Amino acid sequence: MASFELICPAGTLAALRAAVDAGADSVYVGFRDETNARNFPGLNFSRKELAQGVAYAHARGKQVFVAINTYPTAGNAGAWHRAVDDAADNGADAVILADLGLLDYAARSRPKLRLHLSVQASAANPEAIGLYRDAFGVRRVVLPRVLTINDIAKLTSEIDIDTEVFVFGGMCPMAEGRCSLSSYATGRSPNRNGVCSPASHVRYETRGSKLVSRLGAFTINTFDEEEPAGYPTLCKGRFTTHDKASYLFEEPTSLNALHLLPDLKAAGVKALKIEGRQRGKAYIAEVVSACRLALDRFDRGLPYDATVLDRVTEGGKDTAGAYGRAWR
């Protein structure tokens, strides 16, 4: 039996097909609106596309999960309820939710629908996870990226639902679902709008020989001519404390935990997740294939190349993030 289920992102039907073809066990998607945490222009699925994607995946023995993982707006939860209903009616194998009220709605109105707890719920201890299981029948928790491998091992030994962790892709240095940095600068947040540091609020300015990246009214970074200019995600910007400029919160890095497969297995992790629903199908195909190859070799007890994804990581740099204690 395979050690891990491989969960892959798709922002388009083409990316979903690419992920399935490249060896995904499950693909996660979102609807084309504010009900999911990758609410980007030109991305995500219509109801019809979801049905097509589910048909494609199911025909090949694979699954599709629908992320409905933003927090419904007070006075206007209709879009989120429709998302749950339409995911179920179009054959989704699970929905990935974060909001208590929406979990309550899904558990009551769609008792047969499999519920996963989104990383955006930031359930970081067995007591919290147990509550989601008992109250709503949640079957799997996507763990927040605030836990070390040792924390995860201890946690999985104390809970009786599946755990899923991020293995590759963009990462937040902050506890997910508990961050308002983006909306402080732009008025648009992951929790309410499904966006972080949105492109609509990004500007690049030239100042002499420097390129300045701005988010809303704030400078997030400046680059010399030779320096590659990164996207101004707020928590990966350069700021000044005590007159010293630094990447105070996090360097512009990606998570890459492929080298930790033995530890993640020993820790009892059930599923590995790749971040990146905003990525194109070529990227998805490359990353999913590489992960698939590594997992297959790992399952057969063969050495695998954990550096295979180094060249696609953000800024060319990667990190095991919070999985190692030194990150703190």
Partner 1 sequence: MTMKKAELTLGPVLFNWAPEVWRDFYFRIADEAPIETVVLGEVVCSKRTPFFAEQIPSVVERLQAAGKQVVLASPILATTERERDGVRELVSSAGDFLIEANDMGCVAQLGGRPHWIGPFVNVYNEATLAWLARRGAVSVSLAGELTEPALSALAAQATLLGCELEVQVFGRLPLAISVRCYHARAHGLHKDNCRYICNEDPDGLTVDTLDGEEFLSVNGLQTLSHTYVGLTHEIATLQGMGIRRLRLSPHTCDMVAVAALFRSLADGVLGAAEARAKVLEMVAPAKLSNGFFHDREGVIDTAAL
Which residues bind to partner 1, rule: CB under 8 A? Answer: 71-75, 77, 98-102, 104-105, 121, 123-128, 130-132, 146-147, 151, 154, 173-175, 177-181, 183-187, 189, 191-192, 216-222, 235, 238-242, 244-246, 248-250, 322, 325-328
Question: Is the Cβ of residue 71 or residue 166 nearer to partner 1 in the bound state?
Answer: 71
For 136, list phi and psi in degrees, rounded to 5.
-125, -5
Minimum Å gap between C-beta 164 and partner 1 is 17
Tell me how far the alpha carbon of residue 319 is from its chain's centroid.
16
State which residue, 75 or 228, has the beta carbon closest to partner 1.
Answer: 75
Measured from the CB of residue 79, what is the shortest distance to partner 1 in angstroms? 12
Nearer to partner 1, 298 or 323 (CB): 323
Instruction: Please identify, using beta-carbon distances, which residue of 59 and 217 lies nearer to partner 1.
Output: 217
Provide, rounded to whole angstroms, the least separation between the CB of residue 299 and partner 1: 30
Radius of gyration of the chain (CA): 19
**Identity of the residue, 226 or 243, whose beta carbon is nearer to partner 1 in the bound complex:** 243
Q: Tell which phi-psi region holds residue 306, choosing left (phi > 0), alpha (psi between -120 and 50) or beta.
A: alpha
Q: What are phi and psi of 322, to 5 degrees?
A: -70, -10
Q: Shortest approach of partner 1 to residue 54 CB, angstroms?
A: 27
Least Å distance between CB 297 and partner 1? 32
Helices and strands (H, E) in the chain, number of each type: 10, 15
Burial profile 142-181: b = 16 or more Cβ within 10 angstroms, e = fewer: bbbbbbbbebbbebbeebebbbbbbbbbbbbbbebbebeb
